[in-house]
């Protein structure tokens, strides 16, 4: 079996069983692999060939991205060997490749204290900026989702998120009553129309904004830390993990949610 034939079989499987984001991710790697080895028999490509190829594609990328592309290559070979009953070993299963593309251990982040987040929000005088903080910290919105919201997406205590990260056509995010009232007042005071974005700034501006507001209360913070805080705070106040995962964070897998939940310090454990 040639590499080109194997990739065609694998792509057919992806199209039938996976979301577009996953398909696109594999296509980025395998289309380049095909350009190099299209006519070669799959079993003639050895570990050294795989290493040379992966290095050419990932040498200047982050360790997590390098690890992901290695894992995708390994999964591709495992699938083809199993599906087509090939009498060959997976060339990705060598100590050199495993060590070279080992994914760094995930570091558990320290959870933001409730008092710190409340102080950040309270000290933020500009209504727009305060709403950005609250929609992340109280509702678990990703910053990218928040910036794309249009007025027409807001209805009472729900926000319809168009083309979300999950690949679905849309998802719903939920707001506490006090946050929904503030957002409605902001839209009304600004006389925003249905197609207007309440937060018409770019990602880098929002990231800088959150970091600057954090510095005022002596914490180093990114927008995603506020989303993580919303999940951990809800979990520690008795909200079931399934609700945190599916409603607040809108994750597909509970394992992803568990990574978000911060460490518990001794004081919290005793309480």
User: CA-CA distance, 40 to 43, in Å (whole number)?
Assistant: 8
Q: What pLDDT does 198 receive?
A: 97
What is the C-alpha separation between 88 and 92, in angstroms, rounded?
12
Report the DSSP pairing between strands 158-162 and 154-155: antiparallel
pLDDT, position 177:
95
Q: Are residues 133 and 83 in the same domain?
A: no
Q: How far apart (Å, rounded) are the C-alpha atoms in residues 19 and 48?
A: 32
pLDDT of residue 148: 94
| Domain count of the fold of the chain | 2
Closest to 57 measured CA to CA, from 99, 98, 4, 101: 101
CA-nearest of 199, 194, 157 to 179 is 157
Closest CA to 20 of 160, 168, 145, 172: 168
CATH number at residue 25: 1.10.150.130
Query: Of 50, 56, 24, which Cα lies nearest the Cα of 37?
Result: 50
Residue 23 lies in a domain: yes
CB of 47 closer than 8 Å to CB of 75: no
Residue 224 belongs to domain with CATH number: 1.10.443.10
Tokens at residue 125, please? Answer: 């005088």
Instruction: Give the global pTM.
Output: 0.64
Pairing of strands 170-174, 158-162: antiparallel
How far apart CA 90 and CA 71 sit, in angstroms, is 12
263 within a domain of the structure (yes/no) = yes
**What number of CA atoms fall less than 13 Å from residue 181's CA on the CB side?**
3
Is 56 among the domain residues?
A: yes
Q: Which residues span the domain enclosing 40?
A: 3-100
- Give domain status of residue 109, yes or no: no
For residue 65, count CB atoms less than 10 angstroms from its CB and return exposed for 0-12, middle for 13-18, buried for 19 or more.
middle
Last residue in a domain, options 72, 100, 128:
100
**Backbone dihedral angles phi then psi of residue 189, each to the nearest 5 degrees:** -65, -35
Q: Do 161 and 91 fall within a single domain?
A: no
pLDDT at 114: 87
**Element (DSSP H or E) covering residue 95:** helix 95-100
**pLDDT reported for residue 260:** 65
Provide the residue-wise pLDDT of the chain in tens; the chain has 271 residues: 999 999 999 999 999 888 888 899 999 999 999 999 999 999 999 999 999 999 999 888 888 889 999 999 999 999 999 999 999 999 999 998 999 998 766 655 667 888 999 999 999 999 999 999 999 999 999 999 999 999 999 999 999 998 887 777 889 999 999 999 999 999 999 999 999 999 999 999 999 999 999 999 999 999 999 998 998 888 888 888 888 888 888 887 777 777 666 555 555 555 5
């Amino acid at each position: 079996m040639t590499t080109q034939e194997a990739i065609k079989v694998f792509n057919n499987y992806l199209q039938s069983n996976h979301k577009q984001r996953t398909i696109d991710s594999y296509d980025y790697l395998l289309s380049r692999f095909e350009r190099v080895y299209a006519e070669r028999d799959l079993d003639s490509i050895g570990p050294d060939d795989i290493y040379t190829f992966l290095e050419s594609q990932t040498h200047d990328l982050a360790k997590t991205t390098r690890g992901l592309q290695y894992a995708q290559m390994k999964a591709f070979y495992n699938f083809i060997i199993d599906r087509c009953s090939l009498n060959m070993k997976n060339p990705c299963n060598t100590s050199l490749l495993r060590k070279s593309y080992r994914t760094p251990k995930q570091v558990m982040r320290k959870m933001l204290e409730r008092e710190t987040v409340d102080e950040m929000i309270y000290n933020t005088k500009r209504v727009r900026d305060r709403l950005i903080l609250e929609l992340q910290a109280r509702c678990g919105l990703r910053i990218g989702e928040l910036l794309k919201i249009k007025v027409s997406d807001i209805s009472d205590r729900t926000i319809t998120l168009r083309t979300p990260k999950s690949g679905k056509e849309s998802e719903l995010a939920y707001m506490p009553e006090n946050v929904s009232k503030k957002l409605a007042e902001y839209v009304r005071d600004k006389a925003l129309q249905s197609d207007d974005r309440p937060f018409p700034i770019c990602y880098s501006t929002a990231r800088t904004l959150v970091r600057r507001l954090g510095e005022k209360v002596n914490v180093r913070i990114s927008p995603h830390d506020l989303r993580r805080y919303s999940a951990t705070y809800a979990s520690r106040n008795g909200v079931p993990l399934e609700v945190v995962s599916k409603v607040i964070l809108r994750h597909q897998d509970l394992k992803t949610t568990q990574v978000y939940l911060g460490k518990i310090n001794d004081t919290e454990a005793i309480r």
